[in-house]
C-alpha cells in the first residue's frame, strides 16, 4: 500500500491473469488523424463486436405538450430531487466552500489536476468520494462501462486536452464490481445505443471465456463476471494506448497509464494494471 500525491491510500494488490503492462496486446498504432467510424479501429475486436447489434433509433426533435410547461428546453417543473441537490449545494457552500476561500478562489482562476480519471458512470463509484481527492485534483470522464473507444470524439477530446493542456501526470481507467455494463455483455439487449456502445467491451468477455471452463456453480458464475470486469479494465487500457498522443506521452515519460478496480462491497480500490 502506498500514498499518492494527495495522500490517498491505494492498495497495490496484483490482480494477475492478464497482460502485465499497459502495452501488452497492442500490435499496432492508430492514426487518429483520419479516423473512421466503421471497422478501422486499431485494436483487435471479436467478430461479434464488428457487427452493430442494431441501428440507432431516429429522433424527431419533437417535444410533447407536457414537456413544454416550463421555460427553455427543460420541463422546469418543481422536483424534490432537484430541491435536494440545491439544498445539498447550500450545505456544501456553508460547510466546505466558505471555510476554504483561498482554495476555491484559486480554483476559480485555473485548474491543474494531476490525474485523468476514466471511470464508469455508476452512481456508486464516485471518484472524488472513494479517493478522498481534494477539489481540482481529478479531471474526470465517465461512461457506461468505463470504455475507451477509439472513435468517441468526446473521450478523445478529454484525453487529448488532459495530456496536451492540463499536463496530467497519470491516467487511470477505473472499473468496479457489480458493473451493469459487464453484466449486459451476456444479455440480448433491446436498447440500441447501449448495445452499440458495449461493442468496445465485448472482447473482454471473449478473452475470459476463451481461458476458463464454462461456469456451472453460482460461485463460478460470479468469478467469471469478476474476471470480465478486470479484463475490461485491461482491454480499455490497451485501447487508450492505441492513441498516438497517449503512446508518445508514455514513451517520453510524461504520463503513466494505469487500471484500477473498485470493490463496492469493501470500498477498496486496487491496481490491476
Ligand atoms: Zn459500471
pLDDT computed for residue 71 by the predictor: 53
Q: How far is the CA of 99 from the centre of ligand 1 (A)?
A: 34
Q: How far is the CA of 77 from the centre of ligand 1 (A)?
A: 30
CATH of the domain at 150: 3.40.1050.10
Q: Which residue has the higher pLDDT, 71 or 154?
A: 154
CB contact set of 187 (below 8 Å; sequence gap of 6+): none
Structure confidence at residue 113 as a pLDDT band (50, 70, 90): very high
Q: Which residue has the higher pLDDT, 83 or 41?
A: 83
Q: How far is the CA of 143 from the centre of ligand 1 (A)?
A: 8
User: Do the domain assignments include residue 143?
Assistant: yes
* Residues flanking ion ligand 1, Cβ below 5 Å: 120, 122, 179, 181
Task: Give the global pTM.
Answer: 0.75
Q: How far is the CA of 46 from the centre of ligand 1 (A)?
A: 21
Q: How far is the CA of 34 from the centre of ligand 1 (A)?
A: 30
Residues known to be catalytic: 120, 122, 124, 176, 179
The pLDDT tens digits of the residues spanning 90-100 come to 999 999 999 99
Q: How far is the CA of 144 from the centre of ligand 1 (A)?
A: 6
Q: Which domain holds residue 152?
A: 2-16+112-271
Q: What is the mean pLDDT of residues 6-35?
A: 35
Domain count, the chain: 1
User: Do the domain assignments include residue 102?
Assistant: no
User: Do the domain assignments include residue 142?
Assistant: yes
User: Do the domain assignments include residue 224?
Assistant: yes
Structure confidence at residue 76 as a pLDDT band (50, 70, 90): confident
Checking if the pLDDT of 5 tops 90, the result is: no
pLDDT computed for residue 99 by the predictor: 98
All three cell numbers of 244, joined, read 498516438
User: Do the domain assignments include residue 267?
Assistant: yes
pLDDT computed for residue 72 by the predictor: 60
Amino acid at each position: 500500500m502506498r500514498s499518492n500525491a494527495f495522500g490517498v491510500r491505494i492498495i497495490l494488490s496484483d490482480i494477475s491473469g492478464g497482460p502485465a503492462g499497459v502495452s501488452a496486446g497492442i500490435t499496432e498504432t492508430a492514426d487518429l488523424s483520419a479516423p473512421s467510424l466503421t471497422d478501422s479501429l486499431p485494436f483487435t475486436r471479436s467478430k461479434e463486436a464488428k457487427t452493430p447489434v442494431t441501428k440507432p433509433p431516429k429522433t424527431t426533435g419533437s417535444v410533447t405538450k407536457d414537456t413544454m410547461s416550463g421555460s427553455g428546453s427543460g420541463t422546469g417543473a418543481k422536483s424534490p430531487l432537484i430541491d435536494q441537490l440545491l439544498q445539498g449545494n447550500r450545505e456544501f457552500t456553508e460547510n466546505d466552500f466558505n471555510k476554504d476561500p483561498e482554495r476555491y478562489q484559486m480554483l476559480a482562476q485555473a485548474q491543474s489536476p494531476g490525474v485523468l480519471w476514466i471511470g464508469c458512470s455508476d452512481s456508486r463509484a464516485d471518484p472524488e468520494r472513494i479517493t478522498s481527492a481534494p477539489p481540482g485534483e481529478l479531471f474526470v470522464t465517465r461512461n457506461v462501462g468505463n470504455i475507451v473507444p477509439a472513435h468517441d470524439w468526446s473521450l478523445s477530446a478529454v484525453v487529448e486536452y488532459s495530456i496536451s493542456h492540463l499536463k496530467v501526470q497519470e491516467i487511470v481507467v477505473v472499473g468496479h464490481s457489480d458493473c451493469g455494463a459487464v453484466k449486459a455483455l451476456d444479455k440480448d439487449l433491446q436498447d440500441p445505443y447501449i448495445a452499440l456502445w458495449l461493442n468496445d467491451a465485448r472482447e473482454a468477455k471473449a478473452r475470459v471465456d476463451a481461458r476458463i471452463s464454462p461456469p456451472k456453480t453460482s460461485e463460478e458464475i460470479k468469478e467469471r463476471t469478476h474476471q470480465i470486469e478486470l479484463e475490461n479494465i485491461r482491454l480499455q487500457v490497451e485501447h487508450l494506448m492505441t492513441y498516438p498522443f497517449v503512446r508518445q506521452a508514455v514513451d517520453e515519460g510524461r504520463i503513466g497509464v494505469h487500471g484500477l478496480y473498485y470493490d463496492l462491497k469493501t470500498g477498496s480500490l486496487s491496481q490491476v494494471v
